[in-house]
Structure 1
Amino acid sequence: MPTGVAIRDPREQLYDAAERVLLRDGPGGLTSRAVTTEAGVAKGVLHRHFTDFDAFLAGLVEDRVRRVEAQRETLLAAAGTGDVVDVLTGALTELFSPLAVAMVALVTSRDALRARLREAGHPGLPVLTHGAIMITAYLEAERAAGRIAAGASADTLALMLIGSAHMHFTSGDGGGDTVREIVATTIVMAG
């Protein structure tokens, strides 16, 4: 006789639950018990699909990285259209969702998770690193189209934008006007 209800996609169910716990309770509250309780499943479900909790967390971060990579394709498609400052402001605001900011805090708070992510080919802080790659690619496309200064370093501008936006969003003020000012100032400085 069955003892439970079949789970359609246990990994996604567990990731969704982990995201809710992370947003609500922060990195310190993200435990395997909290995730399985939030997901409404037995603790063994997590361990059936992941070798340990750090493997689960690495999968969670990698899932978020895949979202950034999908955002990259959308951003690259916007190159050459619209106002550069508006496009970058939108991209940074989307990138630095409350969940992404919480993911950065999660990765910085767990040494074993950072080590596992490095082993998987994700250096640094993956959401920020992949965000910088995304912004760099967009800026290179805009530079090639002549919409930003020919001598501007896309890599440097991307790092400036990612760092400034990260500082802004971790301050608790998610206002778009400040992000727009950061972007406009950075682009003007690029000359």
Structure 2
Amino acid sequence: MPTGVAIRDAREQLFDAAERVLLRDGPSALSSRAVTTEAGCAKGVLHRHFDDFDAFLAELVRDRIARTDGRAAELRDAAGTGTVVGHLTEALTELFGPVAVAIVGLVTSRDELRARLRRTTPAGIPLLTEAAAALASYLAAERELGRIAPDADIDSLAPTLIGSGHLLFADRMGERPEGEAVRRVVAAVMGGVVRE
């Protein structure tokens, strides 16, 4: 793109370009040059909006975490409807979409990125930690409604669901698991605590 031509929503264009590179080539291929080339802009555009490349990546991750907040509220509002296993199966399948799986790989592969994200997510893996909190909130709502055993250890169940889901979906290059496979894992984790 010629110098001096304004780019609308440059941050979002750069974020979308980074996602495309991540999905196509994986975390190791992600660089400022790869992102700006994919976005069709000069490398200086990225540095005009972000202090450095790791600052860009940290904002990308935070932006994608923020996008899940609405879904977390929807999940909590669904308490008392449908089935607990059905809601959790849907939530895990949506959470572990290709972009989220690629972002988790990115976070785990870059030390400086993890260090920056520790400022807002002091423990765990960003995105997964926030997702576990969303599941815990939903499970607490279901427990209040009596659809989950009153002594259910929600603080253990939520991260167990996230870890199990991540193992199912983590193969970036393989086939995504069938819905029934996800449902079986959720049903096994929730085992004796669901009271529907």
TM-score grouping bracket, smaller chain normalisation: over 0.9
Checking the alignment, whether the CA contact within 8 Å between 1:157 and 1:190 is kept in structure 2 is no
User: Any residues of structure 2 matched to 1:175-190 within 5 Å, and which?
Assistant: 175-190=178-193
**Aligned residues, how many?**
190
Change (3 A) 1:139 1:100: same
Higher helix share: 1
Checking the alignment, whether the CA contact within 8 Å between 1:15 and 1:60 is kept in structure 2 is yes
Give, as a single letter, the amino acid of the residue that structure 1 aligns with 2:149: A
In structure 1, the gaps of 5 or more residues are: none
User: Any residues of structure 2 matched to 1:76-115 within 5 Å, and which?
Assistant: 76-115=76-115
For residue 155 of structure 1, report the CA deviation from its aligned partner.
1.2
Give, as a single letter, the amino acid of the residue that structure 2 aligns with 1:142: E
Distance 1:40 1:103 in 2: 22
Q: What percent identity do the matched residue pairs reach? A: 62
For residue 121 of structure 1, report the CA deviation from its aligned partner.
3.9
TM-score (norm 1): 0.95
User: Any residues of structure 2 matched to 1:1-191 within 5 Å, and which?
Assistant: 3-171=3-171, 172=174, 173-190=176-193
Distance 1:190 1:120 in 2: 32
For residue 189 of structure 1, report the CA deviation from its aligned partner.
3.4
Checking the alignment, whether the CA contact within 8 Å between 1:117 and 1:123 is kept in structure 2 is no
Distance 1:4 1:74 in 2: 43
Change (3 A) 1:187 1:11: same
For residue 6 of structure 1, report the CA deviation from its aligned partner.
1.9
Give, as a single letter, the amino acid of the residue that structure 2 aligns with 1:149: A
For residue 122 of structure 1, report the CA deviation from its aligned partner.
4.7
Change (3 A) 1:81 1:160: same
3-state SS in 2 of match to 1:8: coil
For residue 4 of structure 1, report the CA deviation from its aligned partner.
4.6
For residue 7 of structure 1, report the CA deviation from its aligned partner.
1.1
Give, as a single letter, the amino acid of the residue that structure 2 aligns with 1:68: T
**Alpha-carbon RMSD:** 1.4
Deviation digits for residues 132-174 of structure 1, max 9, x if unmatched? 0010000000000001111101111111111101001014342
Give, as a single letter, the amino acid of the residue that structure 2 aligns with 1:99: V
For residue 190 of structure 1, report the CA deviation from its aligned partner.
2.9
